[in-house]
Structure formats: C-alpha cells, structure tokens
Structure 1
Amino acid sequence: MSPTPQAAGPAGPDPGPFRGRHSAARKRRGIGPVLVAFALVAAAVGGGLALHRSGGPETPSVAADAAPRTPEVDRAARAAGVDAVLAARAEAVRLNKPEQFVAAVDPGNRALLARQRTLFANLRQFGFAGLRYERLQEQYDQALTDKYGPSTFVVAIAMTYQIRGIDPVPARTMLGYTFVQRAGAWILVSDTDLDRRLPRGSHQEAWDVGAVLVKRAPRVLVVVERDQAKLATSLLTKAGSAVRAVGKSWPGGWRGAGVVIALDDKIVRGADYTLPKNAEDALAMATWVYRSLPGEVSGVGERTDSYVVLNPRNRDRVDARTLAHEFTHVATAPYGSFAPRWLVEGTATYLEFLPMDGARDLAIGTYRQTVRTKYLATAKALPSDSVFFRDSATSYPLSWLAVDLLFDRFGGTEVVTLYQEMAALGSTQKERDRIMLEHVGMTEAGLFQAVKAAAAA
C-alpha cells in the first residue's frame, strides 16, 4: 500500500514519518521518493462458505454450517442445466453475444438485468485469452429458499480467466449465483446473495463494480470509470514507465505486466479504502491474484500474480515511482508469501528509487546518510514482521538500507535468489536464518550488524 506524499520541502531528504493502515504519508524533501507499503491482501474463507467443487452431479453439497432441508430434486438434471447456462455465458463473452449472456437472467428483475448487461460490456473490454465458469458447491440458505421458492439453487461459482498479454497463467475468482427453475429452465435471479460469504481478495473484481473503461499499452492494462479516458491515458504513461523500469532493474529481467485499477469504488478485490487510515493516507495496494482459490487447495489459496488498486481519493497523486514500487510486488508475487517484511518492502523501495525514464534522478547518497544518522543510530535490529507497520517511519528506511547493502555486496542475482527462497520457505525464523546463511553468510541479525558497521565506516 502506498502512502500519500506531503508537499516537497527544501533539499535534505527526510524519510519519515508515516501514518496509515500499515504506513502513512511521508514528508518528501530532496530525493523525495514515496515509500510504499506492501499490501498483497490475503483472503480468508468466511461465513461457512463451501469452496470445493462437488464430487459429481449426484453428490449433495451444502455449506458446512447448515443441513439441507430442500425437497428431493434431480441433482444430475439441475447440475446439467446450470452448467449449460454457465457454458453459454462464457461462450457469449468470447463470441460477443450479449443476448446469449443474459438469456438466462430473470427478465422481471430490471436491476439484475441491467447489472448483467453492464458486466458483459465490461468483460468484453478485458480481452480474455480464456474464460470459463465452474459450478462449485451448493450453499444452502433457508431464508433464500423461502424467498425464491423450493427450486432455489444457491451456488458458488469459480470464474477461471486469463487476460491476454497480462496474466502469465489462468487465474480464478469467485461469484455467487442464485438460480430457480421455471418452466423446465434454470433462471438466474440474483448475483449478490453470497457476496458477504465469499472470501475477501478473490471476489469483487474490477469488472463487477459498475461500467468501466479499459485501456491498454504494451505490458500494461488500466481500468477506470467509463468517462475517465483522460485519467486512463495518464495512468498508461506512468504505468508504462514503471513496467519498463522494473523490467530493466529487476535482476534477470521481469517480463510480466501491470494492471492498474483506478475506480471510484472503495472496495475492489482485496483493497478496502473505507478503512479510515487507508482512506486518508494510502495511494495504492497490490492485491493477490489466485490460480487456486482460498479453500480449494490451501486456506489462503495459491497465488500467481497481483493487480494494483488505487485509492480513489488519492489517485491523482500516483506517479511512476509509486507504480514501480507496486509492480515490484507484482514481479515477486509468484515467489510466495513468507519473505520477511523488511525484504519485501526494502526490495520494492530499492527498485522504486533507481533511475527511471520520465522521473528525475534521486539523491540516493544523501538519502542513505540521512537514514543512517536519523534511524539506524537508535535501531536495535531489522524491523520484525510483528512491528513493521506499527513503526513504519523507521521500518521503511531501515529496510531499504538493508537491501541497499545486499545489492551492493552480493549483487542482484544473489538477492533475487535469496528473495525467492525466503518467500517460498521462510515461514519460521529458523528457516529464515538457514536461508540467509546459505546465500549471504549471515543471519538477519548479522545483516543488521553489517549495516551498522557500514555506517560506522
């Protein structure tokens, strides 16, 4: 998550203070880079939602916290009918058939029908290389059966998609649909009944929240409100510069792409800008993209990528360096989630500060000395995960200083290898120490002492 910068002052960089959900606005002087907090938002399964797909069309499947009280139904016929609806909707998006997409939508529900037409128009803009919908488990709810009738079928849906030129592998997100049977056909009567029970971070995609405009450039996709073409053009330029900068600076090269979502909605994907600190201070959050949903293979899901969501209040303050920080998180997202916070944020800030087309060069030497004298002098250790965001004014500059030393002494290739192994395996301090010793010959405590020694020298 990126905090908002305050107005720049006279020369002489000042790397603090921060405030915000995990961090906060920082006074920018001299080099003036924005320090950016990482917020790849993990999801948790909530509300007793059953996520695993059914064993077969004959298998009864219900939410874990409720027992079914529905009358006997031909489950195989129901499964086949709903699956046919889902297949037709996916085909409609691929072949640009709007009437086919809404053919099974309740014609008497004007709000639902309008919402689904908007959804179709949105989906068509993203340019999917692949798209399919998969019926997961039934989510039984007596109140909904009472509302819609005895044939009510409430089901979690997995949407598997791959945006052409953006997603490295197919990704998955979740929907919740309510169907009823009328005259032998299965009709969609609601697309919101399960919203509160779907896992955060793998739901409420950019195409779900209203009419949008999608614009592309090489390795970049930007999503804005339908009437915000000027904003889209501006963000495409900044994001393009940021993607090229990360691709050039990341050791071994990063060939991925960046998605920037800049909508008026305050809750999109895993980003929640209704929270007071986020609303006030945050610029952006990088949010997880999943190849398996939370609850399918593991509790937190298997991650493949991330999309950046801007704070609607502060999106006009986003610059290319902000996006370079976030795209560094995008580049490292496939590695895993166990890297220590100082390495995650320090690495993203390190790349953010490097020379970048369209951005003035920063006085890194002056900044390094400021961090040493203002923060390192009183620090006792590298910031731990548990306190990182509670003292972000110190945590961010110290993390940058540690990563700066790693790049200088060991080179980018070794730092990337260290990052990859820490992210994949560093779930305990013992494992982190082992990995650090293997790659750089010292533990995290030893690295801190090396940073102190370099400052003294």
Structure 2
Amino acid sequence: MAGRQVQRRTARRIRTALCAALPLALLPLLTGCQDPAGAADAPPGIQRMLDRRAAAVRDRDAGAFLASVDPRAAGYRAQQRAVFANLAQVPLAAWSYELVRTDAFGLPPVAGADGRRVAAEVRLRYRLTGYDTGPVTSVQYLTFTDRGGRWLISSDSDGAGSGRRSARQLWDQGPVQVVKGRHSLVLGVRRGTAALRELADRTDEAVPAVGQAWPGKWAGRVVVEAPQSLDRMAELLNATDPAGYRGIAAVTTGETGSAPAAPADRVVVNPEAYGELSTAGRQIVLTHETTHVATRTATTSTTPLWLSEGFADWAAYRGGGRPAPATAPELAHAVAKGTPPSRLPADGDFRFSRSARQLARAYESGWLACRMIADHWGERKLGAFYRAAGRGGGQSAGRAMRDHLGLSPAEFSRRWQSYVVKQLG
C-alpha cells in the first residue's frame, strides 16, 4: 500500500558498570493512509477553513487562529488559545493541514437542534526552521460543526472513545522553551534552561562522533524534545500506557527507509530515566539515538534489529576504550558460565516485553557483531554492509553478508560466536 510506514520498537540497556540500567528505543512515527474519496466527499468549506487556520499559525495571528474554533466549545477554545501561545518560541518553517477523510469516528449524540457535524481525520504537517528537511506528520481526529454556514472546530477528543486519539505535540503540554546548539535544537516544556542546554551540549558532541562512524550522507542536525514527565513522554508517542516507557531514557521517532526529504526525526527524552544516568551514560544515550537519525534513510524493514541497534551501540561506544566485558556484562557472564549465545538475536529478542537480562543480551550481541565486522573487515565495510542490508528483499542481510563480507549467514554466525567467546572469555 502506498505510503505504508515501517514500525520498529526496540530497547537497550546501559549497564550499571557505567550508569543506571536503562533501555532506549527506536520508534518510527505512524501516520494513516490517505483516503482521497473521503476528503473529496467532505464539505468544501472545511479545507478552506483549515487553510486559513494554518496561515494564522504561520503568521502568528492569534485572532485568525481562534476564528477557526467553535465559540460554543468553551473548554476547547480555551485550550486552543493556550496552544497558540505555547508555540510562540517554536521556529516554524512550514505548517499546514490536510483533510484526509470524514466519518473517521462515531460522534456522540447532540442534545437539541444544532448545526451539522462532521467527524474527520486531519493530517498536520510542520517543519522547524533550519532543522527539518521534511515535515513531521501528526494525525488529529477533529469534530467540525456548521455554525450558520461556517465550519468550525469543536473538539479534538470526540474520537478517543472509538480508539481515534489525536496525536499530541509539545505545545499541547505547555509553553515551549527553545535552546539551540551547534548541531541541535532542543524543545522543552517546564524543564528549565540548564536541563535543555545540557541536552543540547550532549547532542552537539554526538553529531560529529556519529559523522565519523557513519559514512552515509545525513543532515548532521538533531531535534530533541524534552517533555516534563514520563506521562508526557508517552503522550507524545501516542502511547496509552506510560509504564511501558518507564525505564526508557530516550526514543527516536521517524520514518525508516525514506528519501532524505522524508518526514523528520525527533529524539524524545524521558526526564525520569535520563536523569538517573551518569554523565557518560547520557552521552552514550544521545550518541546512540543520533546514530538512528543519521542511518534512518538506509534503515528499512529488511534491516535486522541486531544490525540497526548494534550499529547504534557501536557508534556510541566507538573510541571509548572500555573493555568488551565491561560493555557486555550479561554476555560475559554467560561466557563465564559456559553458555555463550548459540545464534544472533532475532528481531523478537528486542521486544520491550523481554526481561532486562534478555534485552541486554540482545543488544550486547548486536554490538559485538558490528564490532567484529569493524575489527575484521574495517569500518567502511561495516557501513557498506549496513546500507546493503536495507536495500530490500527478504534475503537482503544474507545477500549483503555474501557480497560484502564473503560469508554465508551460517558462517558469519559461527565467526561471531567465536569472536564473542574470545572477547569476553
């Protein structure tokens, strides 16, 4: 299906030898597929109103923005007034709305005679000045009400009961504060300037480090979002259960396998988990996540997670000089017990539902596999292998091994097993 998005959820743990044991994740943003017929059947005034609303945001015109909101929806109107004010410091290069389809969810009954109502799916697209080569896309489920021949927005929450929850952005959570670094833009809500500056500094260090590790072209700029709490982080990820992200220090969102101008990436930081990390651990976290941003266009559904996560860890630990057993303590323990891994980790081994020990073994295994390639074939060959593994087809990784490493998957696995024992024994 055209426009299909690839979803990948992974986790990793920074071990206590370095900092608190906390996983990270790569989670591409999902957007719905457009239904042109549904949009074509909608009353024409709705899209025109949305166009005026978008222009009001770009022009910083609060009056014109609120003119798109139903005055009888007092609570929603107050919320939208605050949202507009929260955007004041956000450097916007573009902002637009697209009506995707109507009848997107069931509307609750209306008491008494009132105007016509339409339940619609709307796609917001925006870009940040100087950082986004492509737009971020966010799906909203809105209620439009006809008030005397004018279509106005009455709600963005009526669809929640049917599972149609409007995606939230930082400016829905409070006034956005902005800190700019050399290679970074950090957006935060109620975090304080010092916390945002620290994130910018860490990201500024990560960008050149990733540039040395990744041979592919990328923008060399990273946008970091710093919400106030775990609950707010989950809200930005459109997650219904914040507890599922409790130990996650950061999440990278974006579309994998896209052209360079595809929708932009965001690194979303969990202040609770990130705050427990040591200085070195925070640097590893942001370098790992920045690597996902850099490799995004070369990463597809055919890229095995041991490779994408292992490469991000390899880039994060590269040049640090830490011995392998200190970086891979779970595997080192297994080797010491005489139970080294028998295979490379499958994608399922990276699921959040796995235990902390299982996740650690998966990530350590991927890291050592990428480290082995860099040691035996060279860093440039590792990058070429990564790109080849994501070029499409169910056998991409195996074919890339043969073409770039001269080994079959079985031979590579055996070589890796020996390498693990040698490095950790």
- TM bin, normalised by shorter chain, reads 0.7 to 0.9
**1:38 is matched with which residue?**
25
Task: Give the TM-score normalised by the residue count of structure 2.
Answer: 0.81
Could you say if the C-alpha distance between residues 273 and 346 of structure 1 is closer, same or farther in structure 2, counting changes exceeding 3 Å?
farther
Residue 313 of structure 1, aligned match among 269, 272, 284: 272
**1:192 is matched with which residue?**
157
What's the CA shift string for 1:99-137, capped at 9, x where partnerless? 111112122333212221222233343322222111111
Provide the rounded CA distance (Å) in 2 between the counterparts of 1:438 and 1:52: 39
**1:286 is matched with which residue?**
252
| Partner secondary structure for residue 194 of structure 1 | helix
Provide the rounded CA distance (Å) in 1 between the counterparts of 2:309 and 2:257: 24
Provide the rounded CA distance (Å) in 2 between the counterparts of 1:375 and 1:194: 49
**2:386 is matched with which residue?**
419
Residue 108 of structure 2, aligned match among 127, 138, 144: 144
Residue 398 of structure 1, aligned match among 352, 365, 383: 365
Task: Tell me by how many angstroms 1:373 deviates.
Answer: 4.7
What's the CA shift string for 1:372-425, capped at 9, x where partnerless? 753456211111112344322311222111100111222333322322232342
Q: Is the 8 A contact 1:260 1:308 kept in 2?
A: yes
Provide the rounded CA distance (Å) in 2 between the counterparts of 1:152 and 1:453: 66
Identity of aligned residues (%): 26
Could you say if the C-alpha distance between residues 54 and 399 of structure 1 is closer, same or farther in structure 2, counting changes exceeding 3 Å?
closer
Q: Which amino acid aligns with 1:225?
A: V
Q: What's the RMSD between the two structures over aligned residues?
A: 3.3
| Residue range with higher mean Cα deviation, 102-111 or 155-164 | 102-111
Q: Aligned pairs, how many?
A: 395
Residue 333 of structure 1, aligned match among 292, 296, 308: 296
Q: Is 1:381 paired with 2:347? A: no
Residue 343 of structure 1, aligned match among 295, 302, 307: 307
Task: Tell me by how many angstroms 1:180 deviates.
Answer: 1.0
Q: Is 1:225 paired with 2:189? A: yes
Q: Is the 8 A contact 2:102 2:118 kept in 1?
A: yes
Alignment of 1:50-199 (within 5 A): 51-55=33-37, 59-60=40-41, 78-79=43-44, 81-139=45-103, 141=105, 143-144=107-108, 146=110, 149=114, 151-195=116-160
What's the CA shift string for 1:234-293, capped at 9, x where partnerless? 2111222122321233224643321222212142333649443521x221111225899x
Q: Is the 8 A contact 1:304 1:333 kept in 2?
A: no
Q: Which amino acid aligns with 1:346?
A: G
| Partner secondary structure for residue 173 of structure 1 | strand
| Residue range with higher mean Cα deviation, 140-149 or 445-454 | 140-149
Q: Is the 8 A contact 1:127 1:163 kept in 2?
A: yes
Could you say if the C-alpha distance between residues 118 and 244 of structure 1 is closer, same or farther in structure 2, counting changes exceeding 3 Å?
farther
| Partner secondary structure for residue 117 of structure 1 | helix
Task: Tell me by how many angstroms 1:160 deviates.
Answer: 1.9
Task: Tell me by how many angstroms 1:96 deviates.
Answer: 1.5
Could you say if the C-alpha distance between residues 178 and 199 of structure 1 is closer, same or farther in structure 2, counting changes exceeding 3 Å?
closer
Could you say if the C-alpha distance between residues 312 and 226 of structure 1 is closer, same or farther in structure 2, counting changes exceeding 3 Å?
closer
Provide the rounded CA distance (Å) in 1 between the counterparts of 2:31 and 2:162: 10
Q: Which amino acid aligns with 1:54?
A: P
Task: Tell me by how many angstroms 1:436 deviates.
Answer: 1.8
Q: Which amino acid aligns with 1:449?
A: R
Task: Give ranges in structure 2 of 5+ residues lacking alignment.
Answer: 1-8
Task: Tell me by how many angstroms 1:84 deviates.
Answer: 2.0
**2:285 is matched with which residue?**
322
Q: Is the 8 A contact 1:105 1:189 kept in 2?
A: yes
Task: Give ranges in structure 1 of 5+ residues lacking alignment.
Answer: 1-19, 46-50, 61-74, 293-301, 356-360
Task: Give the TM-score normalised by the residue count of structure 1.
Answer: 0.76
Q: Is the 8 A contact 1:224 1:232 kept in 2?
A: yes
| Partner secondary structure for residue 271 of structure 2 | coil
Query: Which has the larger share of helix?
Result: 2
Task: Tell me by how many angstroms 1:450 deviates.
Answer: 1.5
Provide the rounded CA distance (Å) in 1 between the counterparts of 2:201 and 2:324: 28
